[in-house]
Structure 1
Protein backbone atom coordinates (compact mmCIF):
# COMPACT_ATOMS: atom_id res chain seq x y z
CA UNK A 1 0.00 0.00 0.00
CA UNK A 2 1.53 3.36 -0.97
CA UNK A 3 2.02 5.87 1.83
CA UNK A 4 1.29 9.57 1.36
CA UNK A 5 2.32 12.56 3.45
CA UNK A 6 0.08 15.62 3.68
CA UNK A 7 0.73 19.15 4.84
CA UNK A 8 -2.47 20.41 6.43
CA UNK A 9 -3.76 23.89 7.23
CA UNK A 10 -6.79 24.44 9.44
CA UNK A 11 -8.70 26.88 11.57
CA UNK A 12 -9.00 25.13 14.93
CA UNK A 13 -12.02 27.03 16.25
CA UNK A 14 -14.79 24.63 15.11
CA UNK A 15 -12.89 21.54 16.23
CA UNK A 16 -12.33 19.71 19.50
CA UNK A 17 -8.66 19.41 18.63
CA UNK A 18 -6.82 17.22 16.12
CA UNK A 19 -7.38 13.77 17.59
CA UNK A 20 -10.48 11.82 16.61
CA UNK A 21 -13.16 11.74 19.33
CA UNK A 22 -16.52 10.06 19.37
CA UNK A 23 -19.42 12.43 18.57
CA UNK A 24 -17.15 15.51 18.44
CA UNK A 25 -15.80 17.35 15.38
CA UNK A 26 -12.03 16.96 15.01
CA UNK A 27 -9.52 17.69 12.26
CA UNK A 28 -8.42 14.05 12.10
CA UNK A 29 -12.05 13.01 11.73
CA UNK A 30 -12.58 15.47 8.87
CA UNK A 31 -9.51 14.26 6.94
CA UNK A 32 -10.34 10.59 7.49
CA UNK A 33 -13.90 11.17 6.30
CA UNK A 34 -12.56 12.82 3.14
CA UNK A 35 -10.24 9.85 2.54
CA UNK A 36 -13.20 7.49 2.92
CA UNK A 37 -14.97 9.34 0.10
CA UNK A 38 -12.04 8.46 -2.16
CA UNK A 39 -11.43 4.90 -0.97
CA UNK A 40 -14.28 3.24 0.95
CA UNK A 41 -13.53 1.77 4.34
CA UNK A 42 -12.09 3.07 7.61
CA UNK A 43 -8.90 5.14 7.48
CA UNK A 44 -6.52 5.95 10.29
CA UNK A 45 -4.01 8.75 9.79
CA UNK A 46 -1.05 9.66 11.99
CA UNK A 47 -0.04 13.26 12.63
CA UNK A 48 3.14 15.00 13.70
CA UNK A 49 1.37 16.50 16.71
CA UNK A 50 -2.04 16.59 18.38
CA UNK A 51 -3.17 20.19 18.57
CA UNK A 52 -5.71 21.14 21.26
CA UNK A 53 -9.22 22.45 20.73
CA UNK A 54 -9.10 25.89 19.15
CA UNK A 55 -5.43 25.69 18.09
CA UNK A 56 -4.69 26.34 14.41
CA UNK A 57 -2.15 24.92 11.98
CA UNK A 58 -0.42 26.16 8.88
CA UNK A 59 2.03 23.28 8.66
CA UNK A 60 0.59 20.22 10.37
CA UNK A 61 1.83 17.00 8.75
CA UNK A 62 0.12 13.62 8.66
CA UNK A 63 0.35 10.43 6.63
CA UNK A 64 -2.03 7.77 5.36
CA UNK A 65 -1.73 4.42 3.59
CA UNK A 66 -4.00 4.06 0.57
CA UNK A 67 -4.87 1.19 -1.73
CA UNK A 68 -4.57 3.06 -5.02
CA UNK A 69 -1.53 4.64 -6.61
CA UNK A 70 -2.61 8.27 -6.67
CA UNK A 71 -0.67 11.12 -8.19
CA UNK A 72 -0.10 13.59 -5.33
CA UNK A 73 -1.62 16.39 -7.41
CA UNK A 74 -4.84 14.45 -8.05
CA UNK A 75 -5.02 13.26 -4.44
CA UNK A 76 -4.62 16.78 -3.05
CA UNK A 77 -7.39 18.19 -5.23
CA UNK A 78 -9.75 15.30 -4.51
CA UNK A 79 -9.27 15.56 -0.76
CA UNK A 80 -9.78 19.31 -0.76
CA UNK A 81 -13.02 18.84 -2.69
CA UNK A 82 -14.36 16.42 -0.08
CA UNK A 83 -13.14 18.51 2.87
CA UNK A 84 -15.48 21.38 1.96
CA UNK A 85 -16.94 23.27 3.77
CA UNK A 86 -14.77 22.45 6.81
CA UNK A 87 -11.97 25.00 7.37
CA UNK A 88 -9.31 22.40 6.54
CA UNK A 89 -7.07 22.33 3.47
CA UNK A 90 -4.39 19.98 2.20
CA UNK A 91 -1.72 22.38 0.96
CA UNK A 92 0.81 19.75 -0.17
CA UNK A 93 0.89 16.00 -0.77
CA UNK A 94 3.78 13.64 -1.47
CA UNK A 95 4.49 9.95 -1.88
CA UNK A 96 6.82 8.79 0.91
CA UNK A 97 8.62 5.51 1.78
CA UNK A 98 6.54 2.88 3.60
CA UNK A 99 8.57 3.31 6.80
CA UNK A 100 8.22 7.11 6.87
CA UNK A 101 6.14 8.36 9.80
CA UNK A 102 4.66 11.84 10.27
CA UNK A 103 5.34 11.77 14.02
CA UNK A 104 8.36 9.54 14.55
CA UNK A 105 10.36 10.76 11.55
CA UNK A 106 10.03 14.40 12.62
CA UNK A 107 13.07 16.14 14.12
CA UNK A 108 11.48 19.47 15.08
CA UNK A 109 8.20 21.32 15.51
CA UNK A 110 7.74 25.08 15.22
CA UNK A 111 4.92 27.02 16.83
CA UNK A 112 3.87 30.65 16.53
CA UNK A 113 1.78 32.44 19.13
CA UNK A 114 0.29 35.81 18.15
CA UNK A 115 -0.60 38.37 20.82
CA UNK A 116 -2.41 41.51 19.64
CA UNK A 117 -1.29 44.34 21.89
CA UNK A 118 -3.96 47.03 21.47
CA UNK A 119 -6.95 48.29 23.45
CA UNK A 120 -9.61 47.69 20.81
CA UNK A 121 -10.87 44.13 20.48
CA UNK A 122 -9.98 42.36 17.22
CA UNK A 123 -12.56 42.08 14.49
CA UNK A 124 -10.89 40.81 11.31
CA UNK A 125 -8.30 38.92 13.35
CA UNK A 126 -10.81 37.61 15.86
CA UNK A 127 -10.07 33.99 16.72
CA UNK A 128 -6.51 34.23 15.41
CA UNK A 129 -4.85 36.34 18.11
CA UNK A 130 -4.94 36.85 21.86
CA UNK A 131 -5.81 40.47 22.53
CA UNK A 132 -4.03 42.03 25.52
CA UNK A 133 -4.86 45.74 25.97
CA UNK A 134 -2.17 46.66 28.54
CA UNK A 135 1.38 47.76 27.58
CA UNK A 136 3.91 44.93 27.75
CA UNK A 137 7.64 45.18 28.47
CA UNK A 138 9.28 43.26 25.62
CA UNK A 139 12.78 43.34 27.13
CA UNK A 140 11.55 41.87 30.41
CA UNK A 141 9.68 39.12 28.55
CA UNK A 142 12.79 38.25 26.55
CA UNK A 143 14.83 38.10 29.75
CA UNK A 144 12.28 35.78 31.33
CA UNK A 145 12.17 33.62 28.18
CA UNK A 146 15.94 33.15 28.40
CA UNK A 147 15.50 31.00 31.50
CA UNK A 148 13.44 28.48 29.51
CA UNK A 149 15.74 27.85 26.54
CA UNK A 150 17.71 24.61 26.74
CA UNK A 151 17.03 21.26 28.37
CA UNK A 152 14.89 21.41 31.51
CA UNK A 153 12.30 19.60 33.54
CA UNK A 154 9.18 21.43 32.29
CA UNK A 155 6.75 19.98 34.84
CA UNK A 156 5.60 23.50 35.73
CA UNK A 157 4.71 24.22 32.13
CA UNK A 158 2.79 21.09 31.18
CA UNK A 159 -0.82 20.11 31.65
CA UNK A 160 -1.72 17.88 34.56
CA UNK A 161 -3.19 15.43 32.04
CA UNK A 162 -0.07 15.35 29.84
CA UNK A 163 0.69 11.78 28.79
CA UNK A 164 4.39 12.25 27.98
CA UNK A 165 6.62 9.76 29.75
CA UNK A 166 9.04 12.46 30.91
CA UNK A 167 8.77 16.21 31.56
CA UNK A 168 12.35 16.69 30.35
CA UNK A 169 12.41 18.57 27.05
CA UNK A 170 14.88 20.69 25.12
CA UNK A 171 13.52 24.04 23.98
CA UNK A 172 15.82 24.99 21.12
CA UNK A 173 14.52 28.51 20.55
CA UNK A 174 12.08 30.98 22.09
CA UNK A 175 12.08 34.30 20.25
CA UNK A 176 9.73 37.19 20.95
CA UNK A 177 9.39 39.99 18.40
CA UNK A 178 7.19 43.03 18.07
CA UNK A 179 5.67 43.14 14.59
CA UNK A 180 3.11 45.33 12.89
CA UNK A 181 0.29 42.91 12.17
CA UNK A 182 -2.70 43.55 9.92
CA UNK A 183 -4.71 44.81 12.91
CA UNK A 184 -1.98 46.68 14.78
CA UNK A 185 1.01 45.91 17.00
CA UNK A 186 1.53 42.26 17.81
CA UNK A 187 4.00 40.21 19.80
CA UNK A 188 5.04 37.03 18.04
CA UNK A 189 6.33 34.18 20.16
CA UNK A 190 8.26 31.68 18.03
CA UNK A 191 9.13 28.38 19.70
CA UNK A 192 11.15 25.50 18.25
CA UNK A 193 11.84 22.06 19.73
CA UNK A 194 11.96 18.43 18.72
CA UNK A 195 8.74 17.88 20.68
CA UNK A 196 6.53 19.68 23.17
CA UNK A 197 4.53 18.72 26.23
CA UNK A 198 0.77 19.13 26.42
CA UNK A 199 -0.04 22.84 26.96
CA UNK A 200 3.67 23.73 27.15
CA UNK A 201 3.59 26.56 24.62
CA UNK A 202 0.44 28.20 25.97
CA UNK A 203 1.71 27.88 29.55
CA UNK A 204 4.95 29.59 28.60
CA UNK A 205 3.23 32.41 26.72
CA UNK A 206 0.73 33.04 29.51
CA UNK A 207 3.55 33.19 32.06
CA UNK A 208 5.63 35.56 29.95
CA UNK A 209 2.64 37.86 29.51
CA UNK A 210 2.63 38.26 33.29
CA UNK A 211 6.28 39.30 33.08
CA UNK A 212 5.49 41.84 30.36
CA UNK A 213 2.64 43.25 32.43
CA UNK A 214 4.92 43.69 35.46
CA UNK A 215 3.10 41.17 37.65
CA UNK A 216 6.12 38.84 37.53
CA UNK A 217 9.83 39.59 37.33
CA UNK A 218 12.00 37.77 34.77
CA UNK A 219 13.62 35.83 37.63
CA UNK A 220 10.17 34.63 38.70
CA UNK A 221 10.12 32.54 35.50
CA UNK A 222 13.27 30.73 36.60
CA UNK A 223 11.78 30.21 40.07
CA UNK A 224 8.64 28.73 38.54
CA UNK A 225 10.66 26.43 36.28
CA UNK A 226 12.79 25.20 39.17
CA UNK A 227 9.70 24.56 41.30
CA UNK A 228 8.75 21.65 38.98
CA UNK A 229 5.17 22.14 40.10
CA UNK A 230 2.14 22.89 37.93
CA UNK A 231 0.62 25.38 40.43
CA UNK A 232 3.78 27.51 40.08
CA UNK A 233 2.88 28.25 36.43
CA UNK A 234 1.30 31.52 35.35
CA UNK A 235 -2.06 31.63 33.54
CA UNK A 236 -2.38 29.51 30.41
CA UNK A 237 -2.78 31.62 27.26
CA UNK A 238 -5.95 30.95 25.23
CA UNK A 239 -5.69 28.48 22.34
CA UNK A 240 -6.78 30.70 19.46
CA UNK A 241 -3.50 32.65 19.26
CA UNK A 242 -1.48 29.48 18.66
CA UNK A 243 -0.56 27.83 15.37
CA UNK A 244 1.60 24.85 14.48
CA UNK A 245 3.51 26.43 11.61
CA UNK A 246 6.06 23.81 10.56
CA UNK A 247 7.33 20.30 11.15
CA UNK A 248 10.90 19.46 10.19
CA UNK A 249 12.25 16.19 8.77
CA UNK A 250 15.78 15.05 7.81
CA UNK A 251 14.55 14.94 4.22
CA UNK A 252 11.64 17.27 3.52
CA UNK A 253 8.96 15.14 1.81
CA UNK A 254 7.51 18.27 0.21
CA UNK A 255 10.80 19.71 -1.07
CA UNK A 256 9.94 19.03 -4.71
CA UNK A 257 6.21 19.50 -4.26
CA UNK A 258 4.27 20.91 -7.17
CA UNK A 259 0.76 20.05 -5.96
CA UNK A 260 0.00 23.65 -5.13
CA UNK A 261 0.45 24.85 -8.69
CA UNK A 262 -2.40 26.73 -10.33
Structure 2
Protein backbone atom coordinates (compact mmCIF):
# COMPACT_ATOMS: atom_id res chain seq x y z
CA UNK A 1 0.00 0.00 0.00
CA UNK A 2 1.40 3.45 -0.85
CA UNK A 3 2.41 5.49 2.20
CA UNK A 4 1.72 9.20 2.51
CA UNK A 5 2.89 11.88 4.91
CA UNK A 6 0.27 14.42 5.96
CA UNK A 7 1.02 17.84 7.46
CA UNK A 8 -1.89 18.72 9.72
CA UNK A 9 -3.07 21.95 11.33
CA UNK A 10 -5.75 21.94 14.01
CA UNK A 11 -7.43 23.83 16.81
CA UNK A 12 -7.25 21.51 19.79
CA UNK A 13 -10.15 23.03 21.72
CA UNK A 14 -12.90 20.57 20.62
CA UNK A 15 -10.71 17.49 21.04
CA UNK A 16 -9.49 15.30 23.90
CA UNK A 17 -6.06 15.34 22.27
CA UNK A 18 -4.48 13.80 19.19
CA UNK A 19 -4.78 10.13 20.17
CA UNK A 20 -7.85 8.13 19.23
CA UNK A 21 -10.23 7.39 22.10
CA UNK A 22 -13.34 5.25 22.34
CA UNK A 23 -15.65 7.79 23.93
CA UNK A 24 -14.18 11.22 23.22
CA UNK A 25 -13.43 13.20 20.04
CA UNK A 26 -9.79 13.17 18.92
CA UNK A 27 -7.86 14.63 16.02
CA UNK A 28 -6.63 11.19 15.02
CA UNK A 29 -10.21 9.96 14.97
CA UNK A 30 -11.29 12.87 12.79
CA UNK A 31 -8.53 12.29 10.21
CA UNK A 32 -9.14 8.54 10.18
CA UNK A 33 -12.87 9.11 9.64
CA UNK A 34 -12.06 11.34 6.65
CA UNK A 35 -9.68 8.72 5.24
CA UNK A 36 -12.35 6.03 5.53
CA UNK A 37 -14.66 8.15 3.41
CA UNK A 38 -12.08 7.53 0.69
CA UNK A 39 -11.26 3.90 1.54
CA UNK A 40 -13.25 1.95 4.17
CA UNK A 41 -10.32 -0.29 5.20
CA UNK A 42 -7.60 2.29 5.84
CA UNK A 43 -5.29 1.13 8.70
CA UNK A 44 -4.77 3.24 11.82
CA UNK A 45 -2.53 6.26 11.24
CA UNK A 46 0.53 7.30 13.28
CA UNK A 47 1.72 10.80 14.18
CA UNK A 48 4.97 12.48 15.15
CA UNK A 49 3.62 13.48 18.55
CA UNK A 50 0.55 12.96 20.73
CA UNK A 51 -0.69 16.40 21.70
CA UNK A 52 -2.81 16.69 24.84
CA UNK A 53 -6.39 17.91 25.12
CA UNK A 54 -6.65 21.57 24.15
CA UNK A 55 -3.20 21.73 22.53
CA UNK A 56 -3.09 23.07 18.97
CA UNK A 57 -0.91 22.23 15.97
CA UNK A 58 0.52 24.24 13.12
CA UNK A 59 2.60 21.41 11.69
CA UNK A 60 1.69 18.00 13.09
CA UNK A 61 2.83 15.20 10.80
CA UNK A 62 1.11 11.85 10.37
CA UNK A 63 1.44 8.88 8.04
CA UNK A 64 -1.26 6.83 6.35
CA UNK A 65 -1.24 3.75 4.14
CA UNK A 66 -3.94 3.59 1.49
CA UNK A 67 -4.54 1.19 -1.37
CA UNK A 68 -5.14 3.75 -4.09
CA UNK A 69 -2.21 5.65 -5.59
CA UNK A 70 -3.31 9.25 -5.00
CA UNK A 71 -1.77 12.39 -6.37
CA UNK A 72 -0.77 14.13 -3.09
CA UNK A 73 -2.58 17.39 -3.77
CA UNK A 74 -5.78 15.53 -4.65
CA UNK A 75 -5.48 13.50 -1.47
CA UNK A 76 -5.20 16.60 0.70
CA UNK A 77 -8.14 18.24 -1.07
CA UNK A 78 -10.32 15.16 -0.64
CA UNK A 79 -9.47 14.86 3.04
CA UNK A 80 -10.15 18.54 3.68
CA UNK A 81 -13.55 18.17 2.06
CA UNK A 82 -14.47 15.33 4.41
CA UNK A 83 -12.99 17.02 7.48
CA UNK A 84 -15.41 19.96 7.26
CA UNK A 85 -16.64 21.57 9.47
CA UNK A 86 -14.08 20.41 12.07
CA UNK A 87 -11.14 22.78 12.77
CA UNK A 88 -8.65 20.37 11.17
CA UNK A 89 -6.86 20.93 7.87
CA UNK A 90 -4.38 18.95 5.79
CA UNK A 91 -1.96 21.66 4.64
CA UNK A 92 0.28 19.33 2.63
CA UNK A 93 0.56 15.70 1.57
CA UNK A 94 3.51 13.79 0.12
CA UNK A 95 4.29 10.25 -1.04
CA UNK A 96 7.02 8.72 1.13
CA UNK A 97 9.02 5.49 1.24
CA UNK A 98 7.42 2.41 2.74
CA UNK A 99 9.87 2.44 5.66
CA UNK A 100 9.38 6.14 6.45
CA UNK A 101 7.69 6.75 9.81
CA UNK A 102 6.12 9.98 11.05
CA UNK A 103 7.37 9.39 14.60
CA UNK A 104 10.54 7.32 14.34
CA UNK A 105 12.00 9.09 11.30
CA UNK A 106 11.68 12.51 12.96
CA UNK A 107 14.85 14.23 14.19
CA UNK A 108 13.26 17.17 16.01
CA UNK A 109 9.99 18.61 17.29
CA UNK A 110 9.35 22.33 17.57
CA UNK A 111 6.82 23.87 19.94
CA UNK A 112 5.48 27.39 20.27
CA UNK A 113 3.81 28.70 23.40
CA UNK A 114 1.87 31.98 23.19
CA UNK A 115 1.40 34.11 26.30
CA UNK A 116 -0.75 37.25 26.14
CA UNK A 117 0.02 40.01 28.65
CA UNK A 118 -2.92 42.38 29.11
CA UNK A 119 -5.52 43.03 31.79
CA UNK A 120 -8.67 43.05 29.65
CA UNK A 121 -10.07 39.59 28.89
CA UNK A 122 -9.02 38.03 25.60
CA UNK A 123 -11.82 37.89 23.05
CA UNK A 124 -10.69 36.83 19.58
CA UNK A 125 -7.71 34.90 20.96
CA UNK A 126 -9.53 33.28 23.88
CA UNK A 127 -8.62 29.60 23.95
CA UNK A 128 -5.53 30.18 21.79
CA UNK A 129 -3.25 31.99 24.23
CA UNK A 130 -2.47 31.87 27.93
CA UNK A 131 -3.39 35.25 29.37
CA UNK A 132 -1.35 36.78 32.20
CA UNK A 133 -2.51 40.17 33.45
CA UNK A 134 0.79 41.49 34.83
CA UNK A 135 3.90 42.48 32.82
CA UNK A 136 6.74 39.95 32.77
CA UNK A 137 10.50 40.46 32.81
CA UNK A 138 11.67 38.82 29.59
CA UNK A 139 15.38 39.16 30.36
CA UNK A 140 14.87 37.35 33.67
CA UNK A 141 12.97 34.55 31.92
CA UNK A 142 15.76 34.23 29.35
CA UNK A 143 18.31 33.96 32.16
CA UNK A 144 16.23 31.25 33.81
CA UNK A 145 15.72 29.40 30.53
CA UNK A 146 19.47 29.26 29.90
CA UNK A 147 19.80 26.73 32.74
CA UNK A 148 17.57 24.30 30.84
CA UNK A 149 19.48 24.19 27.57
CA UNK A 150 21.40 21.03 26.81
CA UNK A 151 21.38 17.47 28.10
CA UNK A 152 19.68 17.06 31.48
CA UNK A 153 17.54 14.87 33.67
CA UNK A 154 14.17 16.67 33.36
CA UNK A 155 12.34 14.73 36.08
CA UNK A 156 11.25 18.03 37.66
CA UNK A 157 9.56 19.10 34.42
CA UNK A 158 7.97 15.73 33.65
CA UNK A 159 4.38 14.67 34.33
CA UNK A 160 3.98 11.94 36.93
CA UNK A 161 2.09 9.91 34.31
CA UNK A 162 4.78 10.30 31.63
CA UNK A 163 5.47 6.95 29.96
CA UNK A 164 8.94 7.77 28.58
CA UNK A 165 11.59 5.24 29.60
CA UNK A 166 14.04 7.95 30.68
CA UNK A 167 13.67 11.53 31.96
CA UNK A 168 16.94 12.49 30.27
CA UNK A 169 16.45 14.73 27.23
CA UNK A 170 18.44 17.27 25.25
CA UNK A 171 16.79 20.67 24.86
CA UNK A 172 18.40 22.20 21.76
CA UNK A 173 16.71 25.58 21.82
CA UNK A 174 14.54 27.73 24.06
CA UNK A 175 14.06 31.23 22.72
CA UNK A 176 11.78 33.85 24.27
CA UNK A 177 10.62 36.71 22.05
CA UNK A 178 8.21 39.62 22.17
CA UNK A 179 5.49 39.68 19.51
CA UNK A 180 2.84 42.29 18.72
CA UNK A 181 -0.28 40.17 19.01
CA UNK A 182 -3.67 41.01 17.51
CA UNK A 183 -5.18 41.53 20.96
CA UNK A 184 -2.11 42.98 22.67
CA UNK A 185 1.53 42.22 23.41
CA UNK A 186 2.46 38.55 23.39
CA UNK A 187 5.49 36.65 24.62
CA UNK A 188 6.42 33.64 22.53
CA UNK A 189 8.40 30.66 23.80
CA UNK A 190 10.08 28.59 21.07
CA UNK A 191 11.39 25.17 22.14
CA UNK A 192 13.17 22.61 19.99
CA UNK A 193 14.37 19.08 20.82
CA UNK A 194 14.48 15.64 19.29
CA UNK A 195 11.68 14.63 21.65
CA UNK A 196 9.90 15.93 24.75
CA UNK A 197 8.54 14.41 27.93
CA UNK A 198 4.85 14.56 28.76
CA UNK A 199 3.97 18.08 29.97
CA UNK A 200 7.62 19.17 29.67
CA UNK A 201 6.94 22.32 27.65
CA UNK A 202 3.99 23.44 29.79
CA UNK A 203 5.99 22.80 32.96
CA UNK A 204 8.93 24.83 31.67
CA UNK A 205 6.80 27.76 30.52
CA UNK A 206 4.81 27.80 33.76
CA UNK A 207 8.04 27.89 35.76
CA UNK A 208 9.55 30.64 33.62
CA UNK A 209 6.40 32.73 34.01
CA UNK A 210 7.06 32.71 37.77
CA UNK A 211 10.56 34.05 37.02
CA UNK A 212 9.13 36.77 34.79
CA UNK A 213 6.63 37.74 37.50
CA UNK A 214 9.43 38.05 40.06
CA UNK A 215 8.27 35.17 42.28
CA UNK A 216 11.33 33.11 41.30
CA UNK A 217 14.92 34.19 40.65
CA UNK A 218 16.54 32.88 37.45
CA UNK A 219 18.86 30.73 39.56
CA UNK A 220 15.82 29.03 41.09
CA UNK A 221 15.24 27.32 37.75
CA UNK A 222 18.65 25.65 38.01
CA UNK A 223 17.87 24.57 41.58
CA UNK A 224 14.55 23.08 40.49
CA UNK A 225 16.18 21.21 37.60
CA UNK A 226 18.88 19.76 39.81
CA UNK A 227 16.31 18.65 42.40
CA UNK A 228 15.00 15.99 39.98
CA UNK A 229 11.74 16.22 41.87
CA UNK A 230 8.33 17.00 40.37
CA UNK A 231 7.39 18.89 43.54
CA UNK A 232 10.15 21.42 42.77
CA UNK A 233 8.48 22.49 39.49
CA UNK A 234 6.55 25.71 39.11
CA UNK A 235 2.89 25.72 38.03
CA UNK A 236 2.01 23.84 34.85
CA UNK A 237 0.52 26.36 32.44
CA UNK A 238 -2.76 25.63 30.60
CA UNK A 239 -2.72 23.73 27.30
CA UNK A 240 -4.48 26.28 25.10
CA UNK A 241 -1.37 28.43 24.56
CA UNK A 242 0.66 25.51 23.24
CA UNK A 243 1.21 24.66 19.56
CA UNK A 244 3.11 21.83 17.91
CA UNK A 245 4.79 24.15 15.43
CA UNK A 246 6.67 21.66 13.30
CA UNK A 247 8.51 18.38 12.95
CA UNK A 248 11.93 17.97 11.37
CA UNK A 249 13.18 15.08 9.22
CA UNK A 250 16.54 14.33 7.53
CA UNK A 251 14.76 14.90 4.22
CA UNK A 252 11.65 17.10 4.41
CA UNK A 253 8.90 15.08 2.70
CA UNK A 254 6.99 18.28 1.91
CA UNK A 255 9.88 20.21 0.33
Shorter-chain TM-score: which interval?
A: over 0.9
1:92-111 to 2 correspondences below 5 Å: 92-111=92-111
Cα displacement string for residues 63-109 of structure 1 (whole angstroms, at most 9, x for unaligned residues):
01101101111111110011111110000000000000000000001
**Other-structure match for 1:188:** 188
Matched-pair contact (CA < 8 Å) for 1:52–1:239: yes
Matched-pair contact (CA < 8 Å) for 1:35–1:43: no
2-side partners of 1:244 and 1:42: how far apart? 25
**Other-structure match for 1:260:** none
TM-score by length of 1: 0.96
Cα displacement string for residues 195-224 of structure 1 (whole angstroms, at most 9, x for unaligned residues):
000000000000000000011110110010
1:169-248 to 2 correspondences below 5 Å: 169-248=169-248
2-side partners of 1:87 and 1:216: how far apart? 38
User: What SS does the corresponding residue of 1:208 show, helix, strand or coil?
Assistant: helix
1-side partners of 2:22 and 2:159: how far apart? 22
Listed as ranges, the gaps of 5+ residues in structure 1 are: 256-262
1-side partners of 2:212 and 2:248: how far apart? 31
Matched-pair contact (CA < 8 Å) for 1:58–1:246: yes
Query: How many residues matched?
Result: 255
Comparing 134-143 with 6-15, greater Cα deviation is found at 134-143
**Other-structure match for 2:90:** 90
Asked if residue 27 in structure 1 is aligned to residue 22 in structure 2, the reply is: no
TM-score by length of 2: 0.99
1:1-262 to 2 correspondences below 5 Å: 1-255=1-255
Matched-pair contact (CA < 8 Å) for 1:113–1:241: yes
1-side partners of 2:4 and 2:189: how far apart? 31
User: What SS does the corresponding residue of 1:22 show, helix, strand or coil?
Assistant: coil
Matched-pair contact (CA < 8 Å) for 1:36–1:43: no
Cα displacement string for residues 229-257 of structure 1 (whole angstroms, at most 9, x for unaligned residues):
111100001000000011000000000xx
User: What SS does the corresponding residue of 1:139 show, helix, strand or coil?
Assistant: helix
Matched-pair contact (CA < 8 Å) for 2:113–2:190: yes
